[in-house]
Amino acid sequence: MLTAVKPISRQENELNHWADHFETRSVEALLEWAVEHYAPQLVMTSNFGAEGVVLLDHLARVAPGTPVIYLSTGYQFAATDEVKERLQARYPLNLIEASAALSVAEQDTQHGPRLYERNSDLCCRMRKVEPLQNALRGQRAWLAALRRDQSPTRAHIKTVEWNERNQLVKLHPLAGWTRARVWDYIVKHDLPYNRLYDEGYTSIGCWPCTKRVAAGQHERSGRWDGQQKQECGIHL
């Protein structure tokens, strides 16, 4: 039986061309191209993890006024808000804080306490996916500080690709970076970072669903520990 193959659109061809082009170019080169082609409808998202800090440092030199969307879930670690404040003091951040329609207390009333334990997908959808979709409306391109070697779910990301869910171009300037390269950059440039990394965390999300990582596990294995889940849904 023959299987139908979806034809590649002209847009996909063009984005694939740029993805190949920027595979060996610098972060600054991709950011300059993104600003030229998509600003002012260009945004970055970050929860101020190590990769996000590195990308922010590059973006601050190329286009410091670029909006940065921060998902304020109500479950973020205090240490995450601390590093956010340190970054705001260092850079002229154009910060957009996106929150869920329901407060944590309202969510507890409607869905019961500790929804993250009973239905983490629903909790993530309400507190992260939907607020991000709202914040991305009207934008043309989205910068995200993902790396391919963070987890199997990110192994095939491109530097430039189409994001079907949000109907915009998604850019991964750090796609080919390694964890070691990220931390070398942070140390070299004396960048602020989340103090939880010094306590054994390797990927930091909401506090109820983030654990320290055991030796030999990939970086994101401490997220939603014990569940068959490695992504909240915003990057799928």
Question: What residues are annotated to the active site?
Answer: 232
Separation between Cα atoms, residue 60 and residue 207, nearest integer Å: 28
Separation between Cα atoms, residue 75 and residue 127, nearest integer Å: 9
Angle between helix axes 78-90 and 50-62 (nearest 10 degrees) is: 20
Separation between Cα atoms, residue 200 and residue 195, nearest integer Å: 10
Element (H, E) at 161: strand 160-163
Integer-rounded Cα Rg, in Å, for the chain is: 18
* Closest by Cα among 233, 221, 235 to 52: 235
